[in-house]
Structure 1
Amino acid sequence: MADITRRLGRRHLRSAPTAHVRHHRRGRLVHDGPGLSFWFRSLTAALSEVPVDDRELAMAFHARTSDFQDVSVQATVTYRISDPATAAARLDFSIDPDTGAWRGAPLEQISTLLTETAQQHALDVLARTPLAAALVNGVASVRERISAGLAGEPRLPATGIEVVTARVVAIRPEPDVERALRTPARELIQQEADRATYERRAVAVQRERAIAENELGSKIELARQEEQLVEQRGTNARREAEENAAADGVRAEAEAARAVRLARAEAEAAREVGAARAESQAAWLRVHAEVDSATLHALAVTRLAENLPRIDSVTLSPDVLTGLLARLGRSDGEGA
């Protein structure tokens, strides 16, 4: 929309670079071009503003396929007004000199023209296409047909309109038909998922079996090693007992031999001691046999005196002394 200001009874118009403005004064074209800015009088001016930028037109319509199924088509058409003078002459792009707004609805007319033209060509294609093919390849075929139909439509160049591109966003059936069509695919996907689940479970079972077999093999190997350990311990114990018994036998033999040697040594010592004592005794007896009785008595008294306890004092009574002297006298007489 043009920007119009008032100053001292006159008006000033300033348009955007994407808007083509045509100014007629008293039937003559005074200003013509995009992005203009000029003064004008509202009573003598006829203004038109034609947009020359690319515009997107979204459209949605229903169609019926060859197997009598309803589908909805969503498409977008990009267009531009390539000939503003022709468009301004064929459509009402005049603007209010006071507000700068369009007096009519030219863009709505263009939208209706493009939508009906595109819809006509899309219906023509889908009417000869079954639903399954329309859902699979319908987007490309409908897009090509709409592009070709809009390019060959004579009203568009005559109105100064150029179609840039046409795009078909989607072709969708009714919700219940779409659910019905999705069911086989979902079932197939579910079957594949179930198969993958079963395979995963089978692999898990095989792995668990392998793990169990490995554990069992480990237990068997451990038991075998424990059996070997027990046997080795028994062998070691028997060997240790045999070695201990042999050591005890050697020790006993050594002790017995030592005891025999000690006994023999003691016996030899005892014999030698006995012999020495016997010789000493014999010598002692020979000496005593050669000595007279008085000497023997003296020696006996000496030996007795050596073995008597210590006597501090001795008291001799007359009777004892008389008897002793009498014995000594008899001993002397017998000796003589």
Structure 2
Amino acid sequence: MATIKTYPAARRFLGTPTDYVVHLRRGEVAHQGVGQAFWFRPATAVLSEVPATDQELPVLFHAITADHQDVTVQVNVTYRFDDPVKVSQRLDFGIFPARQNAGGAQGAGAVGTGRQQVATIIGQLAQSRAVDHVATLTLTDALELGVGQVRAVLTDALRGDARLQSTGIAVLGVHVLAIRPEADVEKALQTPVRERVQAEADRATYERRALAVERERAISENELASRIELATRREQLVAQEGVNARREAEEAAAAALVEARAAAERRDIGAASKAQEVRLLGEAEAAKDAAAMAVYAGMDRGTLLALAVRDAAGALPKIDNLTITPDMLTGALAAFTQATTGGAR
């Protein structure tokens, strides 16, 4: 907002870079532009301050669709004052001293109704064109296609409106933010979508559960297959251990049989050797005895008796006292004499 300083004979206007000032003196333009600074007399000057920046105008209104449904249309219009001088002549943007500042400066208060007039003009024009177009659409079409169609209709209508062009207002853009039905209708329309979304969520839940069950079943089958495989391998192991034990027993029995046969053969060989030894000893003894008998056969009785006594003496116990009877001495002497006699011959 511009600043007006008061002096005894005149006043000084200090503009801003965002407002376009138009200074009329006796109906003629004395100063105009952005960021102006000039002296003026309140008695002969008329000041108008038009915004030089882009302006945003939100518009909210109701419309009735072709199927008699009430919808709320929310629009935002961006506009600009292309010809501030023409705008100041057609609309009320006049400013007057409003308050005294420190140092003798006064703030220029915008008491004109230009902004409200622009809002009314653009709002009514946008509402009339949007209501006419929405009236040709059903509620479903308005909700699905209405945003783009209403934006196109309002853009063409506002940019081509003769009143706005003659006033010096240029519409830069139109944005349709929303077209919404009444709360209960919107809730009813949202119900199928909610049900469909809930059904999709339930289906996803069921699929997730089914997948979990399938995975659990696969895990159980894998565990069962593993257990069957382990049991099969255990059975094979037991069978193999039985075969190995049986083979070991057979091998041990065969080894024992070989050992027994070897022991029997050794015993047979030993018995045969012993029998041969005994036979040879017997034959030797028999030959000895036969030789002895052959020797004894040619001996006389006395010699045999002497030999018998000699042999018997070796087997007799210890004799401390020996008694010789006359009969025994007579026989022995007779035998000795006979032997001596025979030898002399």
TM-score (norm 1): 0.77
1:335 counterpart residue number: 336
Give the unaligned 5+ runs of structure 2.
98-105, 338-345
Determine if the alignment matches structure 1 residue 74 to structure 2 residue 74. yes
3-state SS, counterpart of residue 167 of structure 1: strand
C-alpha deviation, 1:171, in angstroms: 0.4
C-alpha deviation, 1:25, in angstroms: 4.4
* Cα deviation code 1:82-136 (max 9, x no counterpart): 0000111122222234212212232122112111111111111122322122112
Determine if the alignment matches structure 1 residue 129 to structure 2 residue 137. yes
* Contact kept? 1:293, 1:335, Cα under 8 Å: no
* Contact kept? 1:288, 1:296, Cα under 8 Å: no
Give percent identity, aligned residues only.
Answer: 46
3-state SS, counterpart of residue 47 of structure 1: strand
1:139 counterpart residue number: 147
2:61 counterpart residue number: 61
Determine if the alignment matches structure 1 residue 89 to structure 2 residue 97. no
3-state SS, counterpart of residue 68 of structure 1: coil
Give the unaligned 5+ runs of structure 1.
309-313
Q: Which of 161, 169, 178 in structure 2 is aligned with 1:170?
A: 178
Task: Please tell me the residue identity of whatever aligns with 2:111.
Answer: R
Residues 221-260 of structure 1: matches in 2 within 5 Å? Answer: 232-260=240-268
Change (3 A) 1:109 1:257: same
Q: Measure the CA separation in 2 of the matches of 1:256 and 1:229.
A: 39
Residues 182-193 of structure 1: matches in 2 within 5 Å? Answer: 182-193=190-201
Change (3 A) 1:302 1:45: farther
Task: Please tell me the residue identity of whatever aligns with 1:169.
Answer: L
Q: Cα RMSD between the aligned structures?
A: 3.9
Task: Please tell me the residue identity of whatever aligns with 1:59.
Answer: V
Task: Please tell me the residue identity of whatever aligns with 1:56.
Answer: E
C-alpha deviation, 1:81, in angstroms: 0.4
Q: Measure the CA separation in 2 of the matches of 1:36 and 1:295.
A: 189
With 92-101 and 255-264 compared, the bigger mean Cα shift is at 92-101
3-state SS, counterpart of residue 29 of structure 2: strand
3-state SS, counterpart of residue 48 of structure 2: strand
Q: Which of 272, 276, 284 in structure 2 is aligned with 1:268?
A: 276
1:149 counterpart residue number: 157
C-alpha deviation, 1:235, in angstroms: 4.7
With 104-113 and 325-334 compared, the bigger mean Cα shift is at 325-334
C-alpha deviation, 1:6, in angstroms: 5.8
Q: Measure the CA separation in 1 of the matches of 2:150 and 2:141.
A: 12
Task: Please tell me the residue identity of whatever aligns with 1:75.
Answer: V
3-state SS, counterpart of residue 31 of structure 2: strand
C-alpha deviation, 1:191, in angstroms: 4.2
Q: Measure the CA separation in 1 of the matches of 2:68 and 2:233.
A: 81
Determine if the alignment matches structure 1 residue 34 to structure 2 residue 42. no
Task: Please tell me the residue identity of whatever aligns with 2:57.
Answer: L
Change (3 A) 1:90 1:279: same
C-alpha deviation, 1:220, in angstroms: 5.7
* Contact kept? 1:60, 1:74, Cα under 8 Å: yes
Q: Measure the CA separation in 2 of the matches of 1:7 and 1:264.
A: 166
C-alpha deviation, 1:7, in angstroms: 7.3
Task: Please tell me the residue identity of whatever aligns with 1:335.
Answer: F
Task: Please tell me the residue identity of whatever aligns with 2:90.
Answer: R
* Cα deviation code 1:42-86 (max 9, x no counterpart): 565432211121111111111111222111000110100000001
Change (3 A) 1:85 1:335: same
Q: Measure the CA separation in 1 of the matches of 2:6 and 2:39.
A: 10
C-alpha deviation, 1:38, in angstroms: 3.7
With 117-126 and 234-243 compared, the bigger mean Cα shift is at 234-243
Residues 195-206 of structure 1: matches in 2 within 5 Å? Answer: 195=203
Task: Please tell me the residue identity of whatever aligns with 1:115.
Answer: G
Q: Measure the CA separation in 1 of the matches of 2:121 and 2:15.
A: 27
2:167 counterpart residue number: 159
